[in-house]
Amino acid sequence: MFFEPFTDVIPSFFGWLNQGPLTLTIFLHTVIILPMFWIYKQEKANLNK
């Protein structure tokens, strides 16, 4: 099953994210890196002007 039932003692967003190996790490890295593409594109446009 792709989604497992939540098994932590106290329900929490981070507990839910942390149910599989590296899931929290992958999520946080994705969330942090994605906006950096946007910053990159903006700066590229600025430099091109």
Partner 1 sequence: MAKKNVSVWTSIPFWRRSAAWVTGFAVILLIWLSFDTLGQISMGTDEDLKAGTTKRVPAPTVINYKITYEMNKQRGSEIPIIGGKDANGTSSFEEKELFFGKEWTEEEAADLLHLGKLTSQAKNCMNCHTLLGNGAYFAPDLTKSWLDPAWDTKGVMVSMISSMLPSKLVERIEAGKAVSDEDNQLIKDMKIDIANGKMLTKEEAMAIFLRFPSSYPTHERMMPELAITADEAKGLVAFLKHMSSIDTNGFPRNFSKSVDQFKVGGSNAR
Q: Which conformational region is residue 5 in: left (phi greater than 0), alpha (psi within -120 to 50 degrees), or beta?
A: beta
Please report, as residue ranges, which positions from 1 to 49 form the binding site for partner 1 (by CB under 8 A). 5, 7, 9-10, 12-15, 28, 31-32, 35-36, 39-40, 43-44, 46-49
Query: Distance between CA atoms of 1 and 20, rounded to whole angstroms?
Result: 12
Residue 22 or 47: the one with the smaller Cβ distance to partner 1 is 47
Neighbours of 15 (CB within 10 A): 14
Contact residues toward partner 1 (CB under 8 A) are 5, 7, 9-10, 12-15, 28, 31-32, 35-36, 39-40, 43-44, 46-49
